[in-house]
Structure 1
Amino acid sequence: MRYLVTLLCALCCWASPATAQVSIGIGLPNVSIGINLPVYPQLVRVPNYPVYYAPQLQQNYFFYDGMYWVYQDDNWYASSWYNGPWGLVGPDQVPVYVLRIPVRYYQKPPQYFRGWQRDAPPRWGDHWGRDWEQRRGGWDKWDRRSAPRPAPLPTYQRKYKHDAYPAPQRQPDIRGQNYRYQPREAVVKEHYQKEREQSPRGRDNNDRGNNGKGKDKGRDRDDDRGGNNGNNGRGPDRQR
């Protein structure tokens, strides 16, 4: 019996690191990571990258493809609103252009960044291991001339500050009314869809579909697949 218990404990310890790496998309936004921004932050374009960073924050805080990204305590988090709530993102799901952000733009770099080239991306393969490097092969090799344009900044969020900051349930509807950008990354598209489904309007649409109004539901999906409205990253390098 004692041998069996020991064996089970060993198996659990052996399996836990692999389990920690498993992630499907971005977790639903329900995580508090200690960031509390009373107002919309200043965001500045990372030169030659489709990414913005926040130079005035003591946080590894970025904006890419319609979402905010934070690297904190060895984890990536993402949110469609500047002050969260945040969803956990597994290492296998982080977009390559987020992984490629040079070390110098991390305003609160972890200890293990020391000694790494400041104008190059972090050495994620050294940190996350050989298996991750094989799964994400080529993440650090790209033609900089072919980088996509940055997504426009969702500056409509500036008016939602302090006590006016919306509850998570309202955020998808407000974003849909004010921000027409269509994301490139599959992980961001999936997250947008999940948020829509969790919003009051999304639940109402699901209820109508479950009551037999399949045509309306199909039309909603067609609308969601609509193309970019032309404002596909032509925003300024620095927010105004």
Structure 2
Amino acid sequence: MRSLLLALPLLLGTLAPTQAAISVGIGISVPGVNIGINMPAYPHLVPVPGYPVYYAPTANANYFFYDGLYWVYRDDIWYQSTWYNGPWQSADPIAVPLFVLRVPVRYYRQPPIYFRGWASTRPPRWGEHWGRDWEARRPGWDRWDRRERPVMAPLPTYQRTYSGDRYPRELEQQHSIRSEKYRYQPHDPVTQQAFERRGQPAAPSSAGTAKPAPQASPRAQVPMTGPPGEAGSQREQRKAARVENRSAEQQTRADEKALAKDKRQEAKDLERGKDNPQ
């Protein structure tokens, strides 16, 4: 009996590290969170019509891009990242940009069960879901002047060349590549704060001290340029972004036509069922 008591602490000591390793391996992917989503390659992103937000129609996730950040809604939690496959950081509902929250229900590819019964052309009922305290802190979140929709951020298509073993996992490496290849400056204060919380500037730094550009209405805002000598690369990037946007808009129209066709077919099937009851 005494031998058993002496051996028990040793046995428990060998089990504890194993249990700790399992819990960390399952839930956490330092320095971000493992949310169970893996994008092996750069996703196909399409503009949400009428919104400065992109969504991924072929992804098996509620996946969006807005103002320089990727956003995923999963298990009632919002996550954000500067790169398409993470690492992801969770965001408080108060810290999610309004235009992301305004995206209609129909663009959530994996809508949670409580979305059922909500109008597909309207945003989710976040005030109803998160409660009065949240809605009191974000009054009028679902109302805005659609004529003042901000310009869409160009997609960071440079990330297409980084997949598989080439995908950068360290935040410092991601930030270094982004600073070199993506010159867009976020205009949304919530997005800017998200970059600050990540310990990254919202836009690449430039040599010297420049005077701040005059602030125009959201419609007139455009990505700011970087240091002198980069105007050519900036023009090429904006040109590529315009081509990408046109292609995405064409895909959106095709998706909408396909959806309308499916609805017409569904209506015909329902009518046929009424005419031919079992």
For normalisation by structure 2, the TM-score amounts to: 0.64
Cα separation, 1, equivalents of 2:128 and 2:197: 33
Give how far 1:30 is off: 1.1
Cα separation, 1, equivalents of 2:81 and 2:176: 15
Distance verdict in 2 for CA 1:29–1:103, change over 3 Å: farther
Cα separation, 2, equivalents of 1:57 and 1:222: 42
Gapped regions of structure 2 (runs ≥ 5) = 1-29, 214-222, 226-233, 252-278
- AA aligned to 2:145 is D
Cα separation, 1, equivalents of 2:247 and 2:79: 23
Give how far 1:95 is off: 0.5
Give how far 1:62 is off: 0.3
**Contact 1:45–1:238, Cα closer than 8 Å, also in 2:** no
**Contact 1:101–1:121, Cα closer than 8 Å, also in 2:** yes
Distance verdict in 2 for CA 1:185–1:126, change over 3 Å: same
Q: Deviations over 1:145-203 (max 9, x none)?
A: 211111000000000001100122200010000000000122322333454559xxx9x
Give how far 1:225 is off: 6.8
Distance verdict in 2 for CA 1:87–1:142, change over 3 Å: same
Other-structure match for 1:31: 33
Give how far 1:29 is off: 5.5
**Contact 1:61–1:70, Cα closer than 8 Å, also in 2:** yes
Q: Deviations over 1:21-59 (max 9, x none)?
A: xxxxxxx96111111111000000100100000000110
Determine which of 47, 50, 70 is the counterpart of 2:49. Answer: 47
Q: Deviations over 1:72-117 (max 9, x none)?
A: 0001000000000001110111110000000000000000000000
> Quick check: which has more Rg, 1 or 2?
2
**Contact 1:172–1:196, Cα closer than 8 Å, also in 2:** no
Other-structure match for 1:174: 177
Give how far 1:69 is off: 0.3
Cα separation, 2, equivalents of 1:94 and 1:146: 20
Once the two structures are superposed, the pairs formed by residues 124-139 of structure 1 within 5 Å of their partners are 124-139=126-141
Give how far 1:70 is off: 0.3
Gapped regions of structure 1 (runs ≥ 5) = 1-27, 203-216
What SS class does the counterpart of residue 59 from structure 2 fall into?
Answer: coil
Cα separation, 2, equivalents of 1:67 and 1:221: 27
**Contact 2:42–2:159, Cα closer than 8 Å, also in 1:** yes
Deviates further, 185-194 or 63-72: 185-194
Cα separation, 2, equivalents of 1:79 and 1:150: 18
Identity of aligned residues (%): 53
- AA aligned to 1:44 is V
Other-structure match for 2:69: 67
Distance verdict in 2 for CA 1:137–1:173, change over 3 Å: same
Other-structure match for 1:7: none
Distance verdict in 2 for CA 1:108–1:220, change over 3 Å: same
For normalisation by structure 1, the TM-score amounts to: 0.73
RMSD of aligned C-alpha atoms?
2.9
